[in-house]
Structure 1
């Protein structure tokens, strides 16, 4: 099968990193993946260009209607069998419309958020009849796609986000990476891994850092990731007296090692679906303190792999972070439990197998002109959601 994944551009972000891993891991005896970027390739697109065909610069501006014939011609020329748009917005609209125009047999839309920036607008909803699958990244996200986005339950599938648990593993050179980052070997270190965008709420992280330092004067803080808000966040850190205690590391190609230098990882987002960053932290064996948004509670188990706080509950996050920093044995136990869970249920192989199974199943149904299998529940019933690899979605506490 020739599968085209359609994005706007491949910046360094959670959804884009997932896509890189998916494209790299698809079974080449069964799939020939290609990447289509409506705008420029971006750094991750450049990274993939030596491995798979990468097409870019099809959309010159938001109102460039010529993108439709350009994209349709490309899909026909490449003899694409399945299109998967990644995220909402222009790529979801133009990608599916061009796929329909080009006669692509399978049309799917993968979504990774429950709000901005992945807002599904009216034009995108109009293409629902032409779409074979809407792919959510966690069970609660699948329910969101049915209940809030109003997609037909029979077309909603859940494929959990996955992490390369061989690359993201407990560090063997913790002291070395700490030395490289200028961190004392025994200093308490707290990290956050997220693009510097508004919904990630880095302000909360910085305010938490300032308050944690009142209790633990030698604590240090790492901000991993980059984005349009870096300058204002650095200014806030300066204003809070954190200039010497917070390191803005930008995008790194050694993220597993950097996570390994921390004692606690955090997530302060206001909106999420299934954030990859906390899966990566858990795979490295780090306890997580996160806001209870999206499907985070399906990943971080209170009292087992980390701690959960309400969105914007700054005081609670300060308490939970400080408690774990002061109790390294409990933090270590949470980290071990988190890695075990990710290896068993959120590995990259689980995610890749889910996409392979879904795409082949849809293609076989469409090419044989057999009707789509109707789930057992009534139309629109949440029981009809198709959870790929369902046995792997059971939480450890329920197993």
Structure 2
């Protein structure tokens, strides 16, 4: 049995965290014994502990934080960790040095590169260099989309990388299940046409673009309103933006929730207006629930969404286009049904989370087979 330390930046339930939750729960416990480390607490940690998974929280919000090295070293030694799997660059940066010092193999999963085209040149370059260092010192790099792998190869000559697309629990995210109606507790009238935004409220997810698109769409048809589910560093800015424009009656905003299938069942359209993505778990969950989608063409999204076949694609930072697509979907029920059915069928046939756990287990065991 291989004892693996699964490391992630935060303990809230976002896309990468949902991926880790399903990954850990899908391991064959005769082969893999997972221990989870997060640098913040949250509902993902609570959920894993409730399932009997040993979890630790070592608080820090900084990359390459030397102040946590002693606590990390004690954890690794006390638990007799044989392999470290870091999910995301922030998590990897804080275990990279110790993995080398203790001669413990490091696996790195890229949930979208930390560099992207919208950044100032110097910041983008520094982040690319950071990613290169992490990848070069990892025994294996897992990219959650083929486009991420190509981007790494072009940017800094990424090697020894494999593509393992994210997966979800398609049995839990099944539109045929009898879900509880959460609209009453959220204060949403039954006749509202709800556009859902589910994820971290960060620059990456373009939450202000979403908010503005809802206001524009509501002006076209007063039935169109938005539901934002999540938390993040832009919470205050988003709240101020909504209050300053008096949009509180057309945008419902709630923190992270654990009942995401019920939330998805309550919305009419799912929107993912991100500026960059590796491979969005929230997107797959919405697809699995048979929801029509309005999305931007990020790396992972372009691999699963074909415009007007299983979703609608709009350009980045374009609230007007988003609003027009919501309006179109409201007034075209056959299109909604067509997109939703195609999305569900696509996910069901290709993205079961059990497949991900098996492929990651093969990587772990392969590192100790020689």
User: 1:72: how far off?
Assistant: 3.6
Q: Which stretch has the larger CA shift, 231-240 or 15-24?
A: 231-240
Change in 2 beyond 3 A, CA 1:231/1:70: closer
Are 1:145 and 1:156, in contact at CA under 8 Å, matched by a contact in 2? no
1:281 aligns with 2:282: no
User: 1:199: how far off?
Assistant: 1.6
Change in 2 beyond 3 A, CA 1:4/1:319: same
1:43 aligns with 2:52: no
**Alignment partner of 1:49: what SS?**
helix
1:107 aligned partner: 106
Are 2:26 and 2:357, in contact at CA under 8 Å, matched by a contact in 1? yes
Counterpart Cα distance in 2 of 1:182 and 1:215: 22
Change in 2 beyond 3 A, CA 1:175/1:64: closer
User: 1:22: how far off?
Assistant: 1.0
**Alignment partner of 1:213: what SS?**
helix
1:324 aligns with 2:325: no
Counterpart Cα distance in 1 of 2:31 and 2:193: 47
1:383 aligned partner: none
- State the structure with more CA Rg: 1
Q: Deviations over 1:112-140 (max 9, x none)?
A: 12335997464664455542111110111
**Alignment partner of 1:305: what SS?**
coil
Counterpart Cα distance in 2 of 1:127 and 1:188: 44
Where does 1:230-245 land on structure 2 (aligned, <5 Å)?
Answer: 230-245=235-250
Are 2:314 and 2:322, in contact at CA under 8 Å, matched by a contact in 1? yes
**Alignment partner of 1:28: what SS?**
coil
In structure 2, which of residues 187, 192, 195 is the aligned counterpart of residue 182 of structure 1? 187
2:367 aligned partner: 362
Are 1:309 and 1:317, in contact at CA under 8 Å, matched by a contact in 2? yes
Are 2:115 and 2:128, in contact at CA under 8 Å, matched by a contact in 1? no
Change in 2 beyond 3 A, CA 1:172/1:181: farther
Counterpart Cα distance in 2 of 1:232 and 1:59: 23
**Alignment partner of 2:354: what SS?**
helix
Aligned residues: 360
Counterpart Cα distance in 1 of 2:295 and 2:140: 30
Counterpart Cα distance in 1 of 2:54 and 2:201: 29
1:308 aligns with 2:309: no
Counterpart Cα distance in 2 of 1:32 and 1:57: 20
Change in 2 beyond 3 A, CA 1:68/1:239: closer
Q: CA RMSD in A?
A: 2.5
**Alignment partner of 1:295: what SS?**
helix
User: 1:348: how far off?
Assistant: 1.1
2:121 aligned partner: none
User: 1:186: how far off?
Assistant: 3.2
Counterpart Cα distance in 2 of 1:46 and 1:66: 25
Name stretches of at least 5 consecutive residues in structure 1 with no aligned partner: 369-399
1:95 aligned partner: 95
2:119 aligned partner: none
Counterpart Cα distance in 2 of 1:203 and 1:156: 34
Q: Deviations over 1:221-242 (max 9, x none)?
A: 1111112222321232234442
Change in 2 beyond 3 A, CA 1:363/1:209: same
Change in 2 beyond 3 A, CA 1:330/1:158: same
Q: Deviations over 1:294-319 (max 9, x none)?
A: 22111222111110011112222222
User: 1:150: how far off?
Assistant: 2.9
Counterpart Cα distance in 1 of 2:137 and 2:323: 48
TM-score after normalising by structure 2:
0.89
Are 1:16 and 1:44, in contact at CA under 8 Å, matched by a contact in 2? yes
1:348 aligned partner: 353
Name stretches of at least 5 consecutive residues in structure 2 with no aligned partner: 117-123
Counterpart Cα distance in 2 of 1:218 and 1:99: 54
1:2 aligned partner: 3
Counterpart Cα distance in 2 of 1:223 and 1:129: 38
